[in-house]
Amino acid sequence: MLFVLPREARAQNPFTVNYNTTYLVEKNGDAAVNQTINLTNNTSETYAPSYELYLEGKAPEDVVAEENGEKIPVTNKKQDNQTVITVTFPKALVGKNKTREFSIKYRLSKLASKNGQVWEVAIPKVATPGAIDSKSLILYVPKSLGLPAYISPEPRKRNTTDNHYIFT
C-alpha cells in the first residue's frame, strides 16, 4: 500500500482555523470523509458569514455540512483543478475569541486505487487560502488492502484494530 498525505500551508488570517479530519477508506477504495473545523475570531471587528474549503484532486460527492447537529447550507463547485466547498452560516457569531465548530462530510470515490498488487491512497491536498493553525488527520484503511509499503509524510502514530490500520 502507498499513502501520500498533504503538507500544511500557512498564511495570515483574522481567524484561527483548526481542522480535525477523518478518512475512512472502504474495501472498494471509496472513502467517507469527516472534517470538523473550529473557526475562532481573532478580532472583535470581524466575523465569518461563510467558509470556503478548497480541495485539490478528486471531487467530493454527497457533501453535507452541520453545526450543532443541524444541517447548514453548503455548495460545491469545480473551479479549475479544485473543488470549492462553501458553507454559509445562518447565524452570525461575533466577538473576539468566539469559536464556531462545524463539520463538512463527503465521499471520495476511488480514494484508494489498485496499481498492480499495490493499493495507493492519496489524500487530497487542502488548498484553502488563509492560515490553518493546527490540523489532525486520522486515516482508517481496511486490513484487506494489505500492509503499508510506503507512507509520506510519516504518520506520528500507527495503530491497528481487528479490521483497520489507523494512521494519525
Q: Which pTM value belongs to this model? A: 0.86
Task: Count CB atoms within 10 A of the CB of residue 111.
Answer: 24
More confident residue, 147 or 130: 147
As a whole-number percent, the residues of the chain with pLDDT over 70 amount to 89
In the structure, what pLDDT confidence band is assigned to residue 165 with cuts at 50, 70 and 90? very high
- Residue 147 Cα distances to 80, 101, 118, 144, 160, angstroms: 35, 35, 9, 9, 11
Predicted pLDDT at 152 = 85
Question: In whole numbers, what is the pLDDT of the chain averaged over residues?
Answer: 88
What pLDDT score was predicted for residue 5?
A: 47
Determine the Cα–Cα distance for residues 141 and 24; give it in Å rounded to an integer. 7
Structural element, H or E, at residue 141: strand 134-142
CA separation for the pair 145, 88 (Å, rounded): 37
pLDDT of 148: 87
Asked if pLDDT for residue 118 goes beyond 50, the answer is: yes
Question: Rounded to whole angstroms, how far apart are CA atoms 4 and 2?
Answer: 7
8-23 per-position pLDDT tens digit? 444 447 899 999 999 9
For residue range 80-92, what is the model confidence (pLDDT) as tens digits?
888 999 999 999 9
DSSP assignment letter at 145: G
Q: What is the pLDDT of residues 49-74, one digit of tens each?
A: 999 998 888 889 999 999 999 999 99
Predicted confidence at residue 19, as pLDDT, reads 92
In terms of Cβ atoms closer than 10 Å to its own Cβ (0-12, 13-18, 19+), residue 48 is middle
